Amino acid sequence: VKFGVIRFPGSCDDVDAQRAASRVGEAVLLWHADRGLQDVDAVVVPGGFSYGDYLRVGAIARFAPVMEDGIAFAREGGPVLGICNGFQVLCEAGLLPGALLPNTSLRFLCKQVGLTVASAETAWTRACSLDEPLSIPVKHTTGRYYAPEPVLDELEASGRVVFRYAPGENPNGSLRDIAGVANPAGNVVGLMPHPEHAVDPLTGSEDGLKLFESVVPALA
Amino acid sequence: MRARVLIRPKAGILDPQGIAVERALPALGFAGVSNVHVGRLVELDVEDGAQLDDMCRRLLANPLIEDYEIVGRPEAERWSQDAGPDAPRSSLT
C-alpha cells in the first residue's frame, strides 16, 4: 500500500505521518502546489497550521491544487484520513460534517487521552474492534467538535461517529465526546487526536498504527 | 464598493472568547458588563458588490458556526494598514 501525505505550508506533522505510514507500507509526501497524487492508495491530510490557519483553521487549504485531486480521490471512494488540522481541512472542504471550534478552556492542549472506537467499519478502523480502547495524544487549541443537534443524531444513528473520548476524558468540550467522524461511505475519516504520534512504545503507545494498518488489506 | 463584513459566532454556540473577556473586565474594575461576544472583521474593496454574499457563504464565514453581516463603508475611509490598490501584495503560494 502506498500512502501520500499532503504537505501544506504550515504543516508540521507531515513527517511523523509519513514515518507512521511507512511502518505499514510505502509513504510519499505530496506538495500542496503540485497536481496529481502519484498513484497513492490512501491520502493523509496531516496536522499543523496550513496556510497559517488564516481566516479560520483549515479554511484556505482546501483551495490548494493538490486538494482538488485529493477531494476527487475522496469522492471516488479513496481512503482519506484527516488528522487534527487535516480534520479541520476536511470539514471546511465539505467532505466531513461539522466544524471544529476553540477548546472550551481556550487553552492549547497537549496530552495523552483515552479514546474508544465507536465504529470499526470505516476504511481507517477495520483493524480495530468496536469499543476498543486506544491511547493516543491530542495537541490542539481548536478541537471542540461541533455540529447541529440533528446532524449529531444522524451521525450516531448511521454509525458515522468513529472515535469518542473515553468517559471523563473529553479534553476540549466536543459535543457528545466526539473525537472523530466519517463520511457516509466510511472512506473519509477525520479525528483530532494524533495516531501518527502513537506508533512506538518509546512514546507511550503504538495504538495509532491500527489506523494505518486498517487500509492495508492483509493487516485489516 | 468598499465593504465591511462583520462575522460573529452563531447565537447559541458557546463563545469561550466572549466569556473570557467578560470575566476579565471586572478584574479591571468594570462592572455591569454582560453578553460579550468576540467576532472577526473583514474589510475589502470589490468591483461587484453583488458577489459579497456568495463570498461570505463560501469563504469569509463558515455559515455552520458563524453569522455574517455585510455593511458598506465610506469610499474615503482608509484602513490603517491599507497601502492602496497599487501596492504589491505577495502571493500565498
Q: What is the ipTM of this complex?
A: 0.83
Summary mean pLDDT of chain B = 86
Q: What is the least distance, in Å, from the CA of A204 to any CA of chain B?
A: 32
What is the value of pTM for the model shown?
0.91
pLDDT grade for B85, boundaries at 50, 70 and 90: low
Checking if the pLDDT of A74 tops 70, the result is yes
Rounded Cα gap, residues A50 and A189, in angstroms: 18
Angle CA A63–A66–A71, to nearest 5: 75
Chain A positions touching B20 (Cβ under 8 A) are: 106
Summary mean pLDDT of chain A = 96
Positive or negative torsion for Cα A70, A75, A78, A83:
positive
CB atoms within 10 A of CB B18: 16
Checking if the pLDDT of A59 tops 80, the result is yes
Q: Answer yes or no: are the C-beta atoms of A205 and A213 closer than 8 Å.
A: no
Q: What is the pLDDT of residue B82?
A: 57
Contact call for A55 and B20, based on CB within 8 A? no
Give Cβ neighbours of residue A24 (< 8 Å, ≥ 6 apart).
Answer: A1, A209, A212, A213, A216, A219
Checking if the pLDDT of B84 tops 60, the result is no
Chain A positions touching B16 (Cβ under 8 A) are: 102-106
C-alpha cell at B73: 463603508
Rounded Cα gap, residues A155 and A158, in angstroms: 5
pLDDT grade for B93, boundaries at 50, 70 and 90: very low
A154-168: b (≥16 Cβ within 10 Å) or e? ebeeebbbbbbbbee
Rounded Cα gap, residues A61 and A44, in angstroms: 14
Checking if the pLDDT of A56 tops 70, the result is yes
Amino acid at B76: A
Question: CB distance from A102 to chain B under 8 Å?
Answer: yes
Give Cβ neighbours of residue A13 (< 8 Å, ≥ 6 apart).
Answer: A46, A47, A48, A83, A84, A85, A194, A196, A197
Annotated active-site residue A196? The verdict is yes
pLDDT grade for A93, boundaries at 50, 70 and 90: very high
Least confident among A67-81, A123-137, A179-193, B77-91: B77-91
pLDDT tens, A1-31? 999 999 999 999 999 999 999 999 999 999 9
Rounded Cα gap, residues A220 and A203, in angstroms: 24
Could you write out the DSSP letters of every residue in A120-162?
S-STTTTTS-TT-EEEEEEEESS-EEE--HHHHHHHHHTT-EE
Contact call for B62 and A146, based on CB within 8 A? no
Annotated active-site residue A84? The verdict is yes
Q: Answer yes or no: are the C-beta atoms of A213 and A120 closer than 8 Å.
A: no
Q: What is the least distance, in Å, from the CA of B16 to any CA of chain A?
A: 6
Can you tell me whether residue B4 is helix, strand or coil? strand
Question: CB distance from B20 to chain A under 8 Å?
Answer: yes
Q: What is the pLDDT of residue B32?
A: 95
Q: Taking residues A148-176, what's their average pLDDT?
A: 97
Contact call for A99 and B65, based on CB within 8 A? yes
Question: CB distance from B14 to chain A under 8 Å?
Answer: yes
Least confident among A92-106, A193-207, B61-75: B61-75
Rounded Cα gap, residues A18 and A123, in angstroms: 18
Of A187, A156, A155, A213, nearest in space to A81 by CA: A187
Residue bearing the bigger pLDDT, A49 or B88: A49
Chain B positions touching A148 (Cβ under 8 A) are: 64
Checking if the pLDDT of B73 tops 80, the result is no
pLDDT grade for B9, boundaries at 50, 70 and 90: very high
Question: CB distance from A55 to chain B under 8 Å?
Answer: yes
Rounded Cα gap, residues A157 and A144, in angstroms: 21
DSSP state of B19: H
pLDDT grade for B72, boundaries at 50, 70 and 90: confident
Annotated active-site residue A197? The verdict is no
pLDDT grade for B60, boundaries at 50, 70 and 90: very high
